[in-house]
Amino acid sequence: MNQTTPSRAFLDELTLALPHLKGAAYMMTRAKADADDLIQTTAVRALAAFSQFTMGTNIRAWLYRIMRNEFIDMVRTRGRTPARLDDVPAEMFKRKEVQEEALEMRDVMRAISTLTHIHR
């Protein structure tokens, strides 16, 4: 095999190691779908960089490092992406006027004062 194609041994090790990363991926992302995406992206990056892996060394550690770096990149990218106003619920922009609240409270207190002592 040439340098552009991963060896069968590398592919076998990669296939066996990926399931062991699921727990760490879930702990990083806190969501199953995001963890699965992170594992998939890790596998793609590992395949792209297979020539940098030395057979016989710890592939899980190598993959974990790739996954960790991918997660950091993902967090940085999400942090820089501004929220669109279309994505924000309209309730976030609604604000009850302080004067309106005071008038409502006055009406409630007035209504309570008309009740008998037992009903209050």
Residue 107: inside a domain: no
Residue 59: inside a domain: yes
Residue 31: inside a domain: yes
Residue 32: inside a domain: yes
Looking at residue 56, the DSSP 8-state letter turns out to be T
pLDDT at 81 over 50: yes
Q: Give the pTM.
A: 0.64
The domain that contains 64 carries what CATH number?
1.10.1740.10
Residue 104: inside a domain: no
Range of the structural domain that residue 81 is part of: 8-86
Q: Is 53 helix (H, G, I), strand (E, B) or coil?
A: coil
Is the Cβ–Cβ distance between 43 and 34 less than 8 Å? no
Residue 80: inside a domain: yes
Confidence of residue 10 (pLDDT cuts 50, 70, 90): very high
96-105 average pLDDT score: 74
